Amino acid sequence: MGRQRAVDRHVDGSEDLDRGVGEEPLDPVFRENRDSIAATDSERIEPEGQIRRALERLRGRFGPESVETLSAQSVSGEEAVAACNSLGLFAGKGGRLVIVEDVEGWKKPDEEAIAGYVADPVHGAVLALVPGGELKGSSLPALCAKAGEVLAFDVPKPRDLPTWVRGQFERLGVRSDREAARALVEIVGEDATALATEAEKLAAWAGDEPVGRREVELLAAPAHEASAWAIMDAWGARDLAAALDACQSALEHGEEPFVVAVRLASQVTLVRQAQALAEEGLGAREIAKRLRKHEFRVRKALGHAENYTHDELDDAVVRLAALDGALKGASRLAGELELERALVELVRMPELAIRRSGPS
């Protein structure tokens, strides 16, 4: 705790890029530490364990055909620059994003290639450099600091968490007081990632309404429950990496695979019901009343329903029934492995179906 987070940004005034990927301009070069968070727009993404989430948000501002992920273990600095220079050939209308991971292994020639690129970046391209470890002796941080702005973030110490939570609420536009922030820390604990997630959940629920201790006590979930619910959000977003990370976190918090599976099955059922009622013309509020669920959960379910077809949700029910049997003794594999296998299949069902059927 208390370690500094740094984000290096390079300002690009490209109007075409602004229109293509969002209201705020994306910078042409990002350098992310393993202990840092990328600022892809005016929003700051904090703290522990959020690098993957930051990259997903960055990817979300480009079309799938416009994102390329490379590893510095197999590509050089020159090859990374060449990937950015291929903008005109492969990029969609929203520009091009090139992510290079494990850049702590790059040598001087690689860094020199990046230095040349930073001096004259390609219009419409964004290069994200992601170290997997410390950048000892590397010139990459200095290059970024020299060419652009450095944003430093501090992970709050336990005694500072209520103040930090209030800052999160303010960033999210939530009207709250000290008691709300203190209550959230009391319920969730000292896990800053879980606190940030719960703050976002409260913001989505509150809208323009103020949030106090009562609302926090009603909606916030303890850290171990928050990690389990994160699996549902990742499944709903069809984000396999996030789903597996959340699964591992839940298991590390002592959750039993069977409990996680039950929650996931409950969410799939809710998504199916919400999807069907939405197609009948009902809104979130009406669906919440019909199903006797909190409106926040229904809105979440409707968002997940947009990513799955009827058939996929039906198949998910069948797969979860198989998981239930496996966890009750029908399989010799460990419950943790069975749960992870099921998550992979649930998130990637269309892709797996195509692979199994083979070419037509």
CATH of the domain at 91: 3.40.50.300
Give me the sheet containing 67-71, strands edge to edge. Answer: 67-71, 96-101, 125-130, 29-32, 4-9, 149-154
Q: Cβ-count burial of 258 within 10 angstroms (0-12 exposed, 13-18 middle, 19+ buried)?
A: middle
- pLDDT of res. 275: 96
Whether residue 86 is found in the same domain as residue 183:
no
Whether residue 149 is found in the same domain as residue 162:
no
Strands 4-9 and 29-32: antiparallel
Tokens of 258: 């069977």
Tokens of 283: 């809104």
Neighbours of 356 (CB within 10 A): 7
Return the amino acid letter for 105: G
- pLDDT of res. 42: 27
- pLDDT of res. 171: 87
Average pLDDT along the chain: 76
Strands 67-71 and 96-101: parallel
Give the end of a domain, one of 134, 154, 174: 154
Rg (CA), the chain: 22
- Rounded Cα distance between 17 and 11, Å, is 12
Whether residue 234 is found in the same domain as residue 108:
no
3 state DSSP class of 111:
helix
Determine, yes or no, domain membership for 359: no
Give the end of a domain, one of 154, 179, 206: 154
Asked if 126 contacts 26 with a C-beta cutoff of 8 angstroms, the reply is yes
Give the end of a domain, one of 154, 182, 211: 154
Domain of residue 343: give its range.
Answer: 225-348
Query: What's the start-to-end Cα distance of the chain, in Å?
Result: 54
Segments of 207-317 assigned E as strands: none
Whether residue 245 is found in the same domain as residue 337:
yes
Whether residue 209 is found in the same domain as residue 264:
no
Determine, yes or no, domain membership for 173: yes
3 state DSSP class of 316:
helix
Whether residue 149 is found in the same domain as residue 181:
no
Whether residue 111 is found in the same domain as residue 30:
yes
- Rounded Cα distance between 44 and 252, Å, is 27
Tokens of 201: 């959940």
Determine, yes or no, domain membership for 355: no
In the chain, which stretches have pLDDT less than 50?
A: 1-23, 31, 33-49, 150-153, 352-358, 360
- Rounded Cα distance between 243 and 3, Å, is 27
- pLDDT of res. 186: 86
Whether residue 109 is found in the same domain as residue 14:
yes
CATH of the domain at 310: 1.20.272.10
Neighbours of 326 (CB within 10 A): 20
pLDDT in tens, 294-309: 777 888 899 999 999 9
Asked if 238 contacts 307 with a C-beta cutoff of 8 angstroms, the reply is yes
- pLDDT of res. 207: 81
CATH of the domain at 170: 1.10.8.60
- Rounded Cα distance between 54 and 71, Å, is 18
Whether residue 308 is found in the same domain as residue 336:
yes
Tell me, what DSSP letter sits at residue 211? B
Asked if 218 contacts 201 with a C-beta cutoff of 8 angstroms, the reply is no
When divided into structural domains, the chain yields a total of 3
